[in-house]
Chains A and B, each alone.
Chain A
């Protein structure tokens, strides 16, 4: 099998031109968990009218989700994140929606106080539940019940509906302000919580006779969202800048208050780490969004924020698909940030296996032995046998374009080549190599007008970056000295110089203000040093 002699070894090695190493953070910049949360490839769905008041997922595959915005309810496919259908038979702004547990019906409330139940397939309103006198902000199907609906309105009344007959079964009084949110227990069809602007969360049980709340906790701020945690024994409330965890079984004791948002937390939902068939343990997290534009992931077992993500707008609503593949965030300016994880490979490979069952088994080739005639007629494409002694071809060193040019001593071409590229680190690395070869200034003097323009725009962009400024500031001065004539002759180059001037002035301004800060700090330092 030996085809090739080992190549001639040369005593020298070739070293590539590499950018300087960057400092690594003392702590890991990305924990495995934050890696997981950033693996949702965020995609913006723009151009919805007004703010997204609520987002809800269907419990059954393919997990459609409904986004309530303005006077319409838009259904999206969670697979493709494309618009599926629009329900627009509303008179007023849609405030909330909820799928039934089998995903075939959808209840939606609007600010006129009307609650409608739609068939998801045909989008026709099947029932109109009309009893609330004021806008309704909360409607939900209990997760274990297909016949009833819970709603809460600005009149402070919580209603328990029988959907089929369009009748109110129970009116639950007790809230002294708008009821804006609520959640049904995941373990019990008869229990649910509602949160109100009177700072309280009340736990209701429809089996209780006197229609009084079973339990009440005070959050301390108007409550924007409330949610049961999967065990049913804990629930989380969001209000003001804080998210609080309460122990239901322990009699409404507060377990933890998470206060890392800077503005009002508008919505919380349950996120899940890992998928069912994955080997990662199923872990639940609380996702909270706030008007400060941050989405935070809270680990309520360790009581720790594990991930934080910023969006460019105040966030209004958040939802996480039951299959753990899609995360949707609604903003106040009418766009949705929908993130979807990539499918795992094994699902596709399963498909391939399915097809390969039908393939006809090929007869196995007979193993070639040195006693066979054909053994000596093997071609170049012959695969090595297990027992064959393999002469390993040494790995070829991959050289970048600029490395190749530098190897041929084509210094100017190498510089132009990296300037064409995107990576400023490479440019600086090549410049440093040219300095080491005493060729940088010669290169600069050899650049033609177009290339000089490229160099100037690079310098304009990066000469104030602290990591490069040591080299680039000096270079810029030299370039301006050496090529003053050429720059004067060309308008484009003059333009570059103008930009350059502007960025330098900007930098000077920043440095001035930083010096001011330093002036404030240095007395403090002095005091600290004298301690």
Chain B
């Protein structure tokens, strides 16, 4: 089994002490990436739930590679991540959402002299209360029980410090610690709570706490590395900076210049109520919620970022700003490394950018699988599908920034991105352009995409069909043909490629389908025929019904197009209707032929959703199930379907503990047999996708610990684009462990000398500039319909029209059936 596609941005990453490695929480594991190559080196595996915190133990020598991790499975683990090896586990049995260890940031030498207890402060969710609420007798039944709490944990003795609960919240909050390790704080609604870490740690030391108030909900918190300054961001985009907080409360332990101690209320501008701070200033640039707030390591600058995807650098003394714009995705975290010239920035689109610091230049991007794009109301039905490159093990995903991302399922990394629409994506803006469909041909040399420009108040809507082709050497797709409004203004429901020749079909909700032919192959024969793009070969419709799905048979001799509830079978070359079979109860959403067999799988969605298998030889239904099918995949003789569990069954399943939070089932069928061969239950099935991958056995040999590598793998991608690959036919599930190559590490160790160490590497010059893509365009309509369209002065003379018209009569026949 190969798992992957996890979110890299669920929690902040951490740099190793030599800043050559980046530790990223990816689901249940911590992945370690090289900062120089951007590739994964190794991973720390051991947690059974999502890892929420990773803290690298600072050390004077750069060789030491120890880190603490905390996870939702309620354990804290201590690792040597250079090996990687698990050293210690502390189980506190409560899901940990955040953890800080102040003593690590103090003086490490002190610790070495005599063995102190190491204390961590953890933000946990108290699940005990929820599971057996009757045992604890609460004096007042609160409307909202406070589940989140901040606890203290003795890591040396591996237990929670008894009875110490610093704060209680409705939901567990993220704890922020100051770089000096003297203070830590949380945000709680409109307040910021700050504690001072006691000088001498013991289990029951009294913690001093101050509260800073604001009128808006706070979102993020940051401490100045040296001075007592705290910055906080709120939902409206304001950044508040309190200077000299805690003068009164924390003063006893820390001697300050007495001259500054005024105590007069009138001397504290901007500070609310009786809050313990000297002054509070507000900066407002961000138009929406501030997500990122971080002081630079010397404390001169403040980095902030938010939903709009711009990193802002504030000069702390003057308030002057510098920007890194067009990141293209909301920012989530900003982390700086021990190396002052390197820092990282995590974005919501599952990317981590490594920044070269003073110039804020993006050095490398570690991009994970992109998340499914959100769609405006009413357009969800138009979008569907994730395309798979079955031989190379790639998946093509539509992303929010008008790209198609190619992601390698076997290597768990992003291969390339193809910009489909020439637009800049701005995170916060209304969605006006959506890439709705992506389809790959069987040899994945061609790609078809469909996009919709959403009309403003009924004007300016546009549907575009684009065909892409790969160059012979590189895997990059280049635009071959754009077709504006291929089916007038109707949306495209499906694109399917012919398995062998350069033919594609697009079906539309407007009631017709078109067969497109690429003229590439004729180019050599006739030099006068310059147009190498795709053009319309035939148009078909059936009783003006919306065409909802299309598929070619394995040998390409039959084209099946779903006309709402019926399936129409066509000869794609002659464009002749061969047969009509049907019907299903609700409109068909997808069609697919099962391998080379004579069976056609149709899935329909709606009130009476259905999975039905049709026999082509008898032209009738073989068998069907009333199941809501989310996706299906075909192998040579069998197929797999991802079925959503009905609501009733899901409730029942909870009691029977068969489906714990799982809402879908993958069923593997033999096409002739209605009894499923195998089934697997899965989570987050809504919006998921399935595919069989015909993988070259040698390429996955290294992933398999023992046994013969399987010929085919079934890939399942869930709604969050996490995926799993497994052998559907295997008797026992092969436990495929991802072994990452260690040779990636060797290359990055070579240090830089001389010029390069001072000024950095000379930039590489790309001598071969990308040539402008010449994109021909095919006429979108039937010729005999368009030649008479338009005003008379645009019409060519009758002599020209006549020949075109008659020619069109000779070449094409519409198979309109009334």
Contacts and interface: CB of A to CB of B under 8 A. Distances in A.
Interface string B768-788: 000000011111000010001
A438 interface: yes
A23 interface: yes
Nearest to B814: A529
A77 to B, nearest CB: 37
A10 B328 CA distance: 10
Contacts of A525: 784, 809, 814
A205 to B, nearest CB: 43
Nearest to B810: A528
Interface stretch (B77-85, B498-506, B510-518, B527-535): B527-535
Interface string A495-531: 0000000000011001001100110010011001101
Interface residues of A, number: 49
B788 A466 contact: no
A8 B777 CA distance: 36
A10 B324 contact: yes
A478 interface: yes
Interface stretch (B452-460, B638-646, B689-697): B452-460
Contacts of A21: 482, 775, 777
A417 B328 CA distance: 29
A517 B805 CA distance: 12
Contacts of B815: 529
B789 A431 contact: no
A8 B789 contact: no
Interface residues of B, number: 56
Interface stretch (A11-19, A86-94, A154-162, A311-319): A11-19
A24 to B, nearest CB: 5
Interface in B296-353: 324-328, 353
A11 B813 contact: no
Nearest to B778: A23
Contacts of B809: 524-525, 528
A103 to B, nearest CB: 42
A15 B422 contact: yes
Contacts of B324: 10
Interface in B783-806: 784, 788-792, 794, 805
B357 interface: no
A466 B353 contact: no
Contacts of B459: 435, 440, 471, 474-475, 478
A510 B791 CA distance: 6
Interface stretch (B358-366, B607-615, B652-660): B358-366
B775 A529 contact: no
A24 B531 contact: yes
Given A11-B362, A15-B423, A474 B784 contact: no
A398 interface: no
B326 A440 contact: no
Contacts of B529: 26-27
Interface string A466-482: 10001100110010000
A514 B788 contact: yes
B393 to A, nearest CB: 27
A437 interface: yes
The prevalent SS among residues of B at the interface is loop
A431 B462 CA distance: 13
B205 to A, nearest CB: 47
Interface in B441-495: 453, 455-460, 462, 482, 484-485, 489
A529 B528 contact: no
Contacts of B484: 20
B432 interface: yes
Contact of B531 (A20, A26, A438, A475): A26
A464 B809 CA distance: 28
Contacts of B778: 23
Interface in A436-465: 436-438, 440-441, 464-465
Nearest to A29: B530
A24 B777 contact: yes
B765 interface: yes
Interface in B626-670: none
Contact of A13 (B359, B424, B779): B424
B290 interface: no
B816 A436 contact: no
B813 A510 contact: no
A436 to B, nearest CB: 5
Contact of A10 (B326, B794, B813): B326
A6 B363 CA distance: 13
B83 to A, nearest CB: 35
Contact of B432 (A14, A25, A438, A529): A438
Given A27-B529, A507-B791, A478 B457 contact: yes
A8 B357 CA distance: 12
Contacts of A478: 457, 459
A95 to B, nearest CB: 34
A9 interface: yes
B456 A465 contact: no
A12 B433 contact: no
Contact of B361 (A8, A466, A474): A8
A412 to B, nearest CB: 15
B482 A435 contact: no
Contacts of A470: 485, 489
A343 interface: no
Given A12-B328, A465-B794, A514-B788, A432 B430 contact: no
A524 B792 CA distance: 22
Nearest to A389: B762
Contacts of A524: 809
A127 to B, nearest CB: 50
Contacts of B423: 15, 436
Contacts of A431: 460
Contacts of B805: 521
A351 interface: no
A329 to B, nearest CB: 21
Contacts of A435: 432, 453, 455-456, 459-460
Interface in A9-65: 9-15, 18, 20-28
A392 interface: yes
A6 B794 CA distance: 50
B791 A11 contact: no
Given A10-B326, A525-B809, A436 B453 contact: yes
B763 interface: yes
Contact of B765 (A25, A392, A475, A513): A392
Given A9-B362, A12-B326, A15-B423, A510 B792 contact: yes
B328 A11 contact: yes
B105 to A, nearest CB: 32
A11 B775 CA distance: 25
B789 A514 contact: yes
A471 B460 contact: yes
Given A15-B422, A23-B777, A510-B791, A436 B432 contact: yes
A466 B794 contact: yes
A440 B430 CA distance: 14
Contacts of B430: 438
A392 B455 CA distance: 43
A99 B385 CA distance: 78
26 contacts: A8-B360, A10-B326, A11-B362, A11-B365, A12-B325, A15-B422, A23-B779, A24-B533, A24-B777, A25-B531, A28-B530, A432-B460, A435-B453, A436-B433, A440-B460, A466-B790, A466-B794, A471-B460, A474-B458, A475-B459, A506-B791, A514-B788, A521-B784, A525-B784, A525-B814, A528-B813
For the complex of A and B, the 10 pairs showing the least CB-CB separation, nearest first, are A12-B326, A435-B460, A474-B459, A466-B790, A15-B422, A23-B777, A436-B432, A435-B456, A24-B776, A6-B763
Given A20-B484, A517-B788, 5 more contacts: A6-B763, A8-B361, A11-B353, A15-B423, A531-B813
Interface of A: 6, 8-15, 18, 20-28, 392, 431-432, 435-438, 440-441, 464-466, 470-471, 474-475, 478, 506-507, 510, 513-514, 517-518, 521, 524-525, 528-529, 531
